[in-house]
Structure 1
Amino acid sequence: MKIFRQLFYFYIKGSIHVAFSCLTLLLITQQQLFFLKSSSLNGFVFFSTLLAYNFVKYESLVRVKKVNFRNELKVILVFSGLVFLGTIYYFFQLQWSTQVGAFFIVILTLLYALPFFPNRSNARNWKGIKIYIVSLCWALTTVVLPALEGGFSLDSTVLIYGLQRFIMVFVLIIIFEIVDLKNDDPLLRTVPQLIGVQRTKHIGFGLLVLICLLDFLIGNFRLFSLFFILITALFLAFAHENSAKYYTLFWVESIPIFLFLAQLSIATIRI
């Protein structure tokens, strides 16, 4: 039993779970917008997401705090080094336009993690901006990159779909911010810190309705959107400051994975 706990700890702390979550959103985009499936892009998104999250979580420990690492963290850092090699390999398999888009996302990630300006903290600690940067990175990664890789134009349908994805991730992060309310630095000025938990939930519910309205604007209401709205609304409704840490780290981050499996099952039944 101990070995399973250690593996699960590594799966979560090593950002493997969140990388699978991002990958499934990419696969959902490819299926719904009929983008060409690209194993190179899939590999790049999985490895780069894993690398980016580990970089954001552990970079400051290496650069600033210089703490004595436990064995678990040492394993994660070595693992991240191997992931870096995988990221580079898949990056050079991408189309040139996709590489440019990926480079822009890398710049956003570095801006999020590193203090580039003298006497300034990184963007992660800028008041209220964290949620927008993360949502934008996920939308670009899971919608814009597959469009570029397949040579598709960024028309109104793709842009509206990208806006939907931005809102989806925004709502998921809201749940994280509610659960982390007691532990977050007040200077972060997260949404629940600014307006309270109940008003934050109301905004989240409103954004979920907006996702549905955007589907009608495209002229193609998707069952996926309805599933996402219902499941996310439940997690949002029951989120509170005393929720267990795996409420978000595992279950909320599993929502895209569950939806992808559901969509895959529906497609299989139709066949």
Structure 2
Amino acid sequence: MKIFRQLFRFYINSSIHVGLSCLALLLITQQQLFFSSSFSLSLFVFLGTIFAYDFVKYESLIRRKKNAIRRELKVIVGFSAVVFLGLLYYFFQLQFRTQLGVFFIVLLTLLYALPFFPNRSNARNWKGIKIYIVSLCWTLTTVFLPALEGDFSLDGFVLLYGLQRFIMVFVLILIFEIVDLKNDDPLLQTVPQHIGLERTKKLGFGLLIFFIALDFWTGNFSLLSLFFILITAFFLAFANEKRSHYYTLFWVEAIPIFWWITLLFFSILGNLHFW
């Protein structure tokens, strides 16, 4: 049992789980918008998400405590180095226009992680801005990169779909911020710190209702989307400061993964698009 616990910890702490979550959203986009699938882009997004999250989580720790790095962290660093080599390979398999999109996302990620200006913290610690940068990065990665790679025009429908994705990721991050409310620095001014727990939940529920309304407006409504929006609402409703970190780090981040698996299941069965 000990080895399984260690493997699970590594799976979570090395960001493999969040990488699968981001990949699942990319695959959902390709399925729902009928974008042509790209193996290179899928692998790049999966590996790029792992490396980006490991970089954001551990960069400052490694930089400040070079002589006190735990064995587990050394393994993660080595794993991330291999991942970096893989994402570099798949980056050069992408179209030039997609590479330009990746470059913009990388700039946002670096702005989020590193203090570029003297005597200033990174964007991750700027008051209230963290949730917007992360939501934007996920939206660009899982909606607009596949559009660029597939030579699709960024028309109104794709932009509305991107708005839905931004809303979905925003609500998922709200759940994280609620669970982390007790441990987050008050200076961060996260949404629940700023407006309170109950108002944050009401905001999340309102955004999920707006998500469904956009589904009807664009003619993209499906019972499957409604089902996973209700699951998201369930996790939002029961989120609180006493929840284990695995409530978000595993279960909430697993929502897009289970969404994609279910969508794939119905696709294989050849069921109606209404699902």
**1:200 aligned partner, one-letter code:** T
Residue 161 of structure 1: aligned partner = 161
Q: Secondary structure at the match of 1:168?
A: helix
Q: Secondary structure at the match of 2:151?
A: coil
User: 1:52 touches 1:109 (CA, 8 Å); kept in 2?
Assistant: yes
**2:199 aligned partner, one-letter code:** R
Q: Percent identity?
A: 73
**1:64 aligned partner, one-letter code:** R
User: 1:227 touches 1:259 (CA, 8 Å); kept in 2?
Assistant: no
The CA distance in 2 between the partners of 1:175 and 1:151, in whole Å, is 35
Following TM superposition, by how much is the alpha carbon of 1:49 offset from its aligned partner in structure 2, in angstroms? 0.3
Residue 17 of structure 2: aligned partner = 17
The CA distance in 1 between the partners of 2:61 and 2:148, in whole Å, is 35
After TM superposition, the score normalised by the length of structure 2 is: 0.97
User: 2:29 touches 2:35 (CA, 8 Å); kept in 1?
Assistant: yes
Q: Secondary structure at the match of 1:243?
A: coil
Q: Secondary structure at the match of 2:212?
A: helix
Give yes or no for the alignment of 1:190 onto 2:180: no
The CA distance in 2 between the partners of 1:161 and 1:67, in whole Å, is 47
Following TM superposition, by how much is the alpha carbon of 1:35 offset from its aligned partner in structure 2, in angstroms? 0.4
Residue 111 of structure 1: aligned partner = 111
How many residue pairs get aligned? The number is 271
The CA distance in 2 between the partners of 1:224 and 1:151, in whole Å, is 28
Once the two structures are superposed, what CA deviation does each residue of 1:123-157 show, in whole Å capped at 9, x if it has no partner?
00000000000000000000000000000000001
The CA distance in 2 between the partners of 1:201 and 1:120, in whole Å, is 31
The CA distance in 1 between the partners of 2:220 and 2:230, in whole Å, is 18
Following TM superposition, by how much is the alpha carbon of 1:228 offset from its aligned partner in structure 2, in angstroms? 2.2
Residue 123 of structure 1: aligned partner = 123
Alignment of 1:245-256 (within 5 A): 245-256=245-256
Structure 1: gaps spanning 5 or more residues:
none
The CA distance in 2 between the partners of 1:266 and 1:223, in whole Å, is 12
**1:215 aligned partner, one-letter code:** D
The CA distance in 2 between the partners of 1:47 and 1:116, in whole Å, is 25
The CA distance in 2 between the partners of 1:232 and 1:105, in whole Å, is 26
**1:154 aligned partner, one-letter code:** L
Alignment of 1:1-271 (within 5 A): 1-66=1-66, 68-270=68-270
Q: Which moved more, 1:209-218 or 1:183-192?
A: 209-218
User: 2:51 touches 2:80 (CA, 8 Å); kept in 1?
Assistant: yes
Once the two structures are superposed, what CA deviation does each residue of 1:106-138 show, in whole Å capped at 9, x if it has no partner?
000000000001111000000000000000000
Structure 2: gaps spanning 5 or more residues:
none
Alpha carbon RMSD of aligned pairs, Å?
A: 0.9
Following TM superposition, by how much is the alpha carbon of 1:67 offset from its aligned partner in structure 2, in angstroms? 5.2
